[in-house]
Amino acid sequence: MSKIAVLLTDMFEDVEYTDPAKQFKEEGHDLTVISDKANKEIKGKQGQATVTSDKAIDEVKPEEFDAVFIPGGFSPDQLRADDRFVSFVKESDYLNKKMLVICHGPQLLITAGVLPGRRITGYKSIQRDLEYTGAVVFDREVVSCRDQLISSRNPDDIPAFIKKSLSVLK
């Protein structure tokens, strides 16, 4: 099954990580949580989930993975301030890795400059930002761009996000 790089730091939206991660694992996919440090305790913004990172961003390469999963919350906004995460996303896109993003997750893609001409959705407050990058933005529960970029808007969309993500990971 697929090897999935999960880009995560503090203040992620708890259920946007926990629900998809649980389903991905149940379907046999291998998740590696990547943060700025290995073995870092990462806390969700709702206080419902704590995750320990498996690897530091300096220890991994996009070539090692089939997909990149970016949950929302404040985590993507923090990660996009770190050039190492931006480079990881840019290189992953160049290698045509699957990108699974939800809510504010697309903020990291905005900074990586990989959205012009792509179909995408995201949290309501970033939809205009996505348009400014040249992306084609839809206000739908799940949007697929050539089965390479899967995106959803918010926690209510998680079931559709999981279903579509699993279909492209097979």
**Tokens, residue 150:** 């899967």
Q: Which of 90, 104, 118, 153 is catalytic?
A: 104
Cα–Cα distance measured from residue 35 to residue 41, given in angstroms and rounded to the nearest whole number: 10
Distances (CA, A) of 162 to 20, 90, 95, 151, 169: 6, 23, 23, 10, 10
Asked whether the CA dihedral 38, 8, 150, 159 is positive or negative, the reply is positive
Q: Which of 8, 103, 137, 158 is catalytic?
A: 103
| 145 counts as catalytic | no
Q: Which amino acid is at 110?
A: I
Cα–Cα distance measured from residue 78 to residue 164, given in angstroms and rounded to the nearest whole number: 27
Cα–Cα distance measured from residue 152 to residue 155, given in angstroms and rounded to the nearest whole number: 9
Element (H, E) at 5: strand 3-7
To 5 degrees, how large is the angle CA 114–CA 116–CA 120? 85
Where in the sequence numbering do the catalytic residues fall?
A: 103-104
